[in-house]
C-alpha cells in the first residue's frame, strides 16, 4: 500500500481537514496538545473517494486498521473482541465542512455474545451492558445493514408496553436482554444472516456504511442546499474512537458545551449535561438536560476540569468552540470540538472581546465574520418567542419584520400612514407611482415579481420589509381583499410579514428593534482602518442620508432624482411638465418644480456634509410618471357617468321647478369642473398612448430625455448648483457630483456639460462665489464601456450602473430572467449565480475592468465606483477591489456589510481568484 490511508490521533495533521475531516483533524489536534481524548485513529477522505469509485476498500486498508486497533488496545489496556476486557469503539463520520446529523455514527461496536458477557462481568452491571448491546444492534442494523428503524422500534415499544413502563430509564436488565434478543432476530429475518459476531467484520461493514453515507440522499440534499462544492469538502473521513461511557453510574455524565454563549457572545460557561447518560441522549431529547452551572454543585471537581478544558480549547483554537464531552467514572474525556456557529450579535461581541483579551488580532476579528451575517443586526426581527403559524410564503425580498393593517393601494396607505396607523401595502406588483405608499407603509407584499422586482428594489433601498412573488395570495384590489385559499384578508385586517424568510402571518407578532451596538461600532472602525475602497450609500432623502451616515457611509453614490418627483406634492407638477405640448408650458411647470428640487438637494447635501453626493439626472422613461392606459380609461368612464348624473340632477331640479339649494360639494363638482377633469384625463391618455414604447427600458430614457427636453436637465442642474451655492453661503462643506445616466457617446456628455458650464457661470455670478463640484457619467451601456477613454476626457468620474449593464451584457431583462429561466440556469449550473445579485465577474466584470483601465489612462485621477445593487454584495465587492475601484455604493442597510466586506477584500486580496 503506497498511499497512507490511516493516521492515529497521535500522528494525524490537525490542520488537514480536507484529508481527515473536521472531526478527525480536531481529534488529532486535541490529542497532540495533551487534552484527554480516548485513543483512536482516522481513515482518510481519500480512502472514502477510492471506495466510492471502485466499491472496494483500498487494498490492505483493513490490515492497516488492525494495526491501528492494536495501538488503541495498547493504550487502553483493553482488547477488541476479547471476552474478559473488551474494547468497544465508535465509528464516526466527518467531512471537511461540518454537516450536522447528515451522516452516520455507530456506537458500541465490538459487542457480540462473548464480549457482552465479558462486559457484564467486568462492570458488574448487566443493565448497562444490555443497554449498550441493544443500541449497537439497532444502530448497526440500521446503518450498516440497511434495516428499517421501525422494525426495531416495534419490539422496543411492545416490551415497554408489556412491562407497563413509560420511560426508557424504567427498563431493567432483563427487559433490555429480551429486547436485544428480539433485535438479533430482526437482523436474521431481515438479512437472512445472523448478526455478525466477528468484530473486524463489524468494523469493516461500518466503515463501508459511513463511506456510503457520503452519497446518501440526506447528505446530497444538504450539500446542494448549502452550496457545498467538492472543493470545499470531498468525501467523509471515518474516525474510530475507543468508547467511553457516560452511563455507567452517577459519577458518569455526558454533555455539550460552547466556550462562550452563542446567543449573546458573553464570555461564560455555556452548555448542558446529563448524569448517567450517553452522548446521543442529550441531542435526542429523551431526557431534559441540566444547565452546566449545576455541575458545579453536582461534581465540583469535574466542573473545574471542564472549565480548564474550555480554557485550553479557546487558547489553542483562538476561536469560540462547540464541544462534546463524556465523564466516565470521574474522568473527563473530550470527544469533539469545532468552531461554534453563532448569531451576528455573538460573533461581533466575541470578535471585539477576543481582541481585547489578546487572543486574536484585529485582522482575524474581522475575517472570522461573514459580512452577510451583519444583515441580522440592522432590521427589526420577529420576536423569537412567537409561536404563530404562517399562512403563506413568498420570496424574502427585503429583510426585516413588520406588522400593520392591510391596504391595497398607495393612496390609502398614505392616508392611513398619516393617521399614524401601521400599514402593509399589498399589490400584485408595484410601479414607480406607488412610491408614496412605500413611504407610508411598514412593509410591502406583492403576489408577483422576483427578488429584483420594483417592489423588492425600492423596499431594500428604503430598508423596509418586503415579500415579493407570494403567488398563493390572490389580490383583488376592487374588492379590497386578498385571498389565500378559503381565507379572506380584508382591508384593515392586521398581518405580519417577515422579509427575511418570506413568511406571512395573520395578526400581529411583536418585533424587536435593531440596535447598532458599541461592539459593532468598534468592529467596523477596525474595518475602516484596513479598507481601501470607500463605502457610499444609494439614498434619495435626507432622513435616509442621515441614517446612512450613522451607519458609516462616507458619501452618497447614487441619488435617484425621480424618487423626488414621485412624492405626492410634486407628481401633479411633473405630470403638467410631461403633458406640456410646447416649451413655454413645460418651462412653467419646471419653474414650479425648481425650488422644490433645490431644497431637496440642499437638505441632502447638508445631511451628507462634508462627503460627496452624486446626483443622477432624470433617468426613467416619462410614462412611468403617468397612470397606466387601462387606469385612465377606467377613470374617464367613471367621470362620464358622473357627468350624466350631474346632468340628470339638473334636469330633476328644473323639472320640479323648485329652487332647492344643493349642499356645497354638489355645486363645487359641477359640470364645468367635470369637463375640465375629463379633458385633462383625456390629454393624459393621449400622452400615454404617444409615449408608448415596445421596450421602455431600451427606449426614450436617461440622457436621451436630456437631449430631447434640455429644459428638464437644465432645471435639475440649476437646482443642484444653487443648492450647492446656498450651502457654500452658509459655510457648509459639501461636494456635489452631477451624474448623467445611460450615456452611449461622448457627444451626449459634451452636450450636457455645456448646459452645466453655462448654468455654473450664471449661478456663480448670481451668488458671487465659486462652485466646487464634479461632472461624470454612469457606465451602464456596453457602448459606454467601449468608449471609456473618450468619455473620460469629459467625465471626472465613472459610476458603474451594474443593474442595467448586466441586462445589457446578458441581453435579457431582469424581470423575465428571474421569473422564467434564471432559476433553471442556476439549478442546472448553466450559470453559477444570479448576475443581478452577484456581480458577474467573468463577463460584466471584464467590461468593467477594461473600462476602468481606459478611464485611468485618459484621466489618471478619475474617480470610479459602482452603484448597482451588487455594490453591497461581499463577493462582488472583492472583485471591485481587485479592479481597483475607489468606492462601492449600496443601500443604507447594507452599509455595515459593505464596510466589513471592503476590509475583507483588502485583507484577502492576495488570494483573490475569479472563480
| Residues catalogued as catalytic | 454, 867
Among the candidate windows 241-249, 488-496, 687-695, 732-740, which touches ligand ADP by CB under 6 A?
Answer: 241-249
The three-class DSSP label of residue 799 is: strand
Question: Any contact of residue 875 with ligand ADP (CB under 6 A)?
Answer: no
Q: Taking CB within 5 to 8 Å according to partner kind, which of Mg ion, ligand ADP, none is near residue 101?
A: ligand ADP
User: Minimum CB separation from ligand ADP for residue 42, in Å?
Assistant: 12
CA distance 824 to 441: 34
Give the DSSP per-residue string, 338-378. EEPP--HHHHHHHHHHHHHTTSS-HHHHHHTS-GGGGGGGG
- The set of cell numbers assigned to 567 is 412624492
Q: What's the farthest any 2 CA atoms get from each other in the chain? A: 121
- CB nearest Mg ion: which residue? 804
Give the DSSP per-residue string, 580-595. --SHHHHHHHHHHHHH
CA distance 14 to 22: 9
Q: Taking CB within 5 to 8 Å according to partner kind, which of Mg ion, ligand ADP, none is near residue 244?
A: ligand ADP
Q: Taking CB within 5 to 8 Å according to partner kind, which of ligand ADP, Mg ion, none is near residue 801?
A: Mg ion
Residue 90 vs 803, nearer CB to ligand ADP: 90
Site string for Mg ion, 778-817 (x = CB under 5 A): --x--------------------x--x-------------
Q: Taking CB within 5 to 8 Å according to partner kind, which of ligand ADP, Mg ion, none is near residue 38?
A: ligand ADP
User: Minimum CB separation from Mg ion for residue 851, in Å?
Assistant: 15
Question: Any contact of residue 561 with Mg ion (CB under 5 A)?
Answer: no
The three-class DSSP label of residue 325 is: strand
CA distance 624 to 49: 58
Which of 33, 1, 3, 31 has its CA nearest to residue 19? 3
Site string for ligand ADP, 85-114 (x = CB under 6 A): -----x-x--------x---x-x-------
- The set of cell numbers assigned to 584 is 413655454
Q: Taking CB within 5 to 8 Å according to partner kind, which of ligand ADP, Mg ion, none is near residue 804?
A: Mg ion
Q: How many CA atoms lie within 13 A of 854 on its CB side?
A: 19
The three-class DSSP label of residue 496 is: strand
Q: Taking CB within 5 to 8 Å according to partner kind, which of Mg ion, ligand ADP, none is near residue 613?
A: none
User: What is the chain's Cα-based Rg?
Assistant: 35
Q: Match 443601500 to its residue by C-alpha cell.
A: 891
Among the candidate windows 53-61, 239-247, 341-349, 715-723, which touches ligand ADP by CB under 6 A?
Answer: 239-247
The only residue of 143, 335, 444, 744 in contact with ligand ADP, by rule CB under 6 A:
335
Question: Any contact of residue 531 with ligand ADP (CB under 6 A)?
Answer: no
Residue 396 vs 450, nearer CB to Mg ion: 450
Among the candidate windows 25-33, 240-248, 604-612, 653-661, which touches ligand ADP by CB under 6 A?
Answer: 240-248
User: Minimum CB separation from ligand ADP for residue 101, in Å?
Assistant: 5
CA distance 471 to 522: 43
Q: Taking CB within 5 to 8 Å according to partner kind, which of ligand ADP, Mg ion, none is near residue 332?
A: none
Give the DSSP per-residue string, 389-418. --SEE-EEEE--EEEEEEESSHHHHHHHHH
Question: Any contact of residue 606 with ligand ADP (CB under 6 A)?
Answer: no
Residues that contact Mg ion, how many (by CB under 5 A) = 4
Residue 68 vs 878, nearer CB to ligand ADP: 68
CA distance 28 to 911: 28
Site string for Mg ion, 318-337 (x = CB under 5 A): ------------------x-
User: Minimum CB separation from ligand ADP for residue 165, in Å?
Assistant: 25
Determine the length of the chain: 915
Q: Is the peptide bond before 656 cis (omega within 30 degrees of 0)?
A: no
Q: How many CA atoms lie within 13 A of 307 on its CB side?
A: 12
User: Minimum CB separation from Mg ion for residue 226, in Å?
Assistant: 18
Please report, as residue ranges, which positions from 619 to 638 form the binding site for ligand ADP (by CB under 6 A).
none
Residue 618 vs 746, nearer CB to Mg ion: 618
Question: Any contact of residue 566 with ligand ADP (CB under 6 A)?
Answer: no
H/E segment holding residue 466: strand 465-468
CA-CA-CA-CA torsion for 29, 32, 38, 40, nearest 10 degrees? Answer: 70
H/E segment holding residue 423: strand 423-427
**575 — phi, psi (to 5°)?**
-65, -40
User: Minimum CB separation from ligand ADP for residue 38, in Å?
Assistant: 5
Q: Is the dihedral of CA 155, 159, 164, 165 positive or negative?
A: negative
Residue 404 vs 621, nearer CB to Mg ion: 621
The only residue of 50, 64, 73, 324 in contact with ligand ADP, by rule CB under 6 A:
324
CA distance 218 to 102: 6
Question: Any contact of residue 289 with ligand ADP (CB under 6 A)?
Answer: no
Task: Provide the binding-site residues for Mg ion, judged by CB under 5 A.
Answer: 336, 780, 801, 804
Task: Provide the binding-site residues for ligand ADP, judged by CB under 6 A.
Answer: 38, 90, 92, 101, 105, 107, 241-244, 279-280, 324, 326, 335-336
Amino acid at each position: 500500500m503506497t498511499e497512507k490511508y490511516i493516521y492515529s490521533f497521535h500522528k494525524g495533521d490537525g490542520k488537514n481537514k480536507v484529508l481527515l475531516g473536521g472531526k478527525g483533524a480536531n481529534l488529532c489536534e486535541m490529542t497532540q496538545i495533551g487534552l484527554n481524548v480516548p485513543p483512536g485513529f482516522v481513515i482518510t477522505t481519500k480512502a472514502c473517494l477510492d471506495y466510492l469509485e471502485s466499491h472496494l476498500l483500498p487494498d490492505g486498508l483493513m490490515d492497516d486498521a488492525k494495526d491501528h486497533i492494536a495501538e488503541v488496545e495498547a493504550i487502553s489496556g483493553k482488547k477488541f473482541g476479547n471476552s474478559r476486557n473488551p474494547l468497544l469503539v465508535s465509528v464516526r463520520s466527518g467531512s471537511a465542512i461540518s454537516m450536522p446529523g447528515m451522516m452516520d455514527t455507530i456506537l458500541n461496536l465490538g459487542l457480540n455474545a462473548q464480549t457482552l458477557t465479558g462486559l457484564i462481568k467486568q462492570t458488574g452491571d448487566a443493565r448497562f451492558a444490555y443497554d449498550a448491546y441493544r443500541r449497537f444492534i439497532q444502530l448497526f442494523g440500521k446503518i450498516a445493514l440497511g434495516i428499517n428503524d421501525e422494525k426495531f422500534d416495534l419490539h422496543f415499544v411492545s416490551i415497554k408496553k408489556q412491562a407497563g413502563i413509560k420511560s426508557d430509564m424504567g427498563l431493567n436488565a432483563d427487559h433490555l436482554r429480551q429486547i436485544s434478543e428480539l433485535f438479533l432476530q430482526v437482523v436474521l429475518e431481515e438479512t437472512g444472516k445472523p448478526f455478525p459476531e466477528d468484530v473486524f467484520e463489524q468494523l469493516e461493514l461500518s466503515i463501508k456504511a459511513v463511506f456510503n453515507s457520503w452519497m446518501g440522499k440526506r447528505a446530497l440534499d444538504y450539500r446542494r442546499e448549502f452550496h457545498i462544492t467538492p472543493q470545499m469538502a470531498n468525501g467523509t473521513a471515518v474516525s474510530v474512537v475507543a468508547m467511553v461511557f457516560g452511563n455507567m453510574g452517577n459519577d458518569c455524565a455526558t454533555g455539550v458545551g460552547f466556550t462562550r454563549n452563542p446567543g449573546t457572545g458573553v464570555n461564560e460557561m455555556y452548555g448542558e449535561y446529563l448524569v448517567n447518560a450517553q452522548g446521543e441522549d442529550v441531542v435526542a431529547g429523551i431526557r431534559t438536560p441540566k444547565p452546566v452551572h449545576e455541575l458545579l454543585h453536582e461534581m465540583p471537581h469535574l466542573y473545574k476540569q471542564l472549565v480548564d478544558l474550555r480554557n485550553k480549547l479557546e487558547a489553542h483554537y483562538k476561536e469560540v468552540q462547540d464541544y462534546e464531552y463524556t465523564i466516565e467514572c470521574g474522568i473527563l474525556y473530550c470527544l469533539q470540538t469545532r468552531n461554534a456557529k453563532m448569531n451576528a450579535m455573538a460573533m461581533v461581541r466575541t470578535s471585539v472581546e477576543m481582541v481585547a483579551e489578546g487572543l486574536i488580532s484585529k485582522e482575524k476579528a474581522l475575517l472570522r465574520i461573514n459580512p452577510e451575517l451583519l444583515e441580522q443586526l440592522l432590521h427589526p426581527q420577529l420576536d423569537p418567542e412567537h409561536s404563530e403559524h404562517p399562512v403563506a410564503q413568498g420570496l424574502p425580498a427585503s429583510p426585516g419584520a413588520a406588522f400593520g393593517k392591510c391596504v391595497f393601494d398607495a393612496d390609502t396607505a398614505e392616508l392611513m400612514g398619516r393617521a399614524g396607523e401601521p400599514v402593509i401595502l399589498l399589490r400584485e406588483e408595484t410601479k414607480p407611482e406607488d412610491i408614496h405608499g412605500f413611504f407610508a407603509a411598514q412593509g410591502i407584499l406583492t403576489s408577483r415579481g422576483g427578488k429584483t422586482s420594483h417592489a423588492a428594489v425600492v423596499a431594500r433601498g428604503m430598508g423596509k420589509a418586503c415579500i415579493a412573488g407570494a403567488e398563493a395570495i390572490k389580490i383583488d384590489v376592487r374588492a379590497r381583499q386578498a385571498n389565500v385559499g378559503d381565507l379572506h384578508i380584508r382591508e384593515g385586517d392586521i398581518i405580519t410579514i417577515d422579509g427575511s424568510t418570506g413568511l406571512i402571518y395573520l395578526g400581529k407578532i411583536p418585533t424587536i428593534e435593531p440596535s447598532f451596538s458599541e461592539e459593532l461600532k468598534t468592529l467596523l472602525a477596525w474595518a475602516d482602518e484596513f479598507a481601501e475602497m470607500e463605502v457610499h450609500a444609494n439614498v434619495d432623502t435626507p432622513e435616509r442620508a442621515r441614517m446612512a451616515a450613522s451607519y458609516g457611509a462616507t458619501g452618497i453614490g447614487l441619488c435617484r432624482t425621480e424618487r423626488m418627483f414621485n412624492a405626492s406634492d410634486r407628481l401633479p407638477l411633473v405630470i403638467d411638465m410631461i403633458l406640456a405640448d410646447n416649451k413655454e408650458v413645460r418651462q412653467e411647470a419646471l419653474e414650479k418644480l425648481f425650488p422644490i428640487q433645490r431644497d431637496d438637494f440642499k437638505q441632502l447635501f447638508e445631511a451628507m456634509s462634508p462627503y460627496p453626493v452624486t446626483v443622477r439626472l432624470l433617468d426613467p422613461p416619462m410614462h412611468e410618471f403617468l397612470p397606466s392606459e387601462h387606469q385612465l380609461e377606467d377613470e374617464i368612464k367613471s367621470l362620464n357617468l358622473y357627468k350624466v348624473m350631474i346632468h340628470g340632477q339638473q334636469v330633476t331640479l328644473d323639472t320640479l321647478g323648485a329652487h332647492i339649494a344643493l349642499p356645497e360639494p354638489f355645486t363645487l363638482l359641477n359640470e364645468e369642473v367635470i369637463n375640465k377633469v375629463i379633458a385633462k384625463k383625456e390629454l393624459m391618455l393621449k400622452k400615454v398612448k404617444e409615449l408608448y414604447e415596445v421596450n421602455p427600458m431600451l427606449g426614450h430614457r436617461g440622457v436621451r430625455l436630456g437631449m430631447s427636453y434640455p429644459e428638464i436637465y437644465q432645471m435639475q442642474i440649476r437646482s443642484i448648483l444653487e443648492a450647492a451655492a446656498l450651502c457654500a453661503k452658509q459655510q457648509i462643506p459639501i461636494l456635489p457630483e452631477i451624474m448623467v445616466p445611460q450615456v452611449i457617446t461622448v457627444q451626449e456628455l459634451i452636450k450636457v456639460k455645456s448646459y452645466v458650464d453655462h448654468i455654473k457661470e450664471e449661478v456663480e455670478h448670481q451668488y458671487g462665489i465659486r462652485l466646487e463640484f464634479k461632472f461624470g457619467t454612469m457606465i451602464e451601456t456596453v457602448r459606454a464601456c467601449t468608449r471609456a477613454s473618450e468619455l473620460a476626457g469629459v467625465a471626472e468620474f465613472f459610476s458603474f450602473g451594474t443593474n442595467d449593464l448586466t441586462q445589457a451584457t446578458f441581453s435579457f431583462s431582469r424581470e423575465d430572467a428571474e421569473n422564467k429561466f434564471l432559476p433553471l440556469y442556476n439549478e442546472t449550473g448553466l450559470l453559477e449565480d444570479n448576475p443581478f445579485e452577484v456581480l458577474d465577474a467573468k463577463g460584466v466584470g471584464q467590461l468593467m475592468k477594461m473600462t476602468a483601465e481606459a478611464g485611468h489612462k485618459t484621466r489618471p485621477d478619475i474617480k470610479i465606483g459602482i452603484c448597482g445593487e451588487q455594490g453591497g454584495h461581499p463577493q462582488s465587492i472583492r472583485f471591485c477591489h481587485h479592479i481597483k475601484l475607489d468606492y462601492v455604493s449600496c443601500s443604507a442597510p447594507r452599509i455595515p456589510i459593505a464596510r466589513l466586506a471592503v476590509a475583507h477584500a483588502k485583507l484577502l486580496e492576495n488570494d483573490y481568484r475569479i472563480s
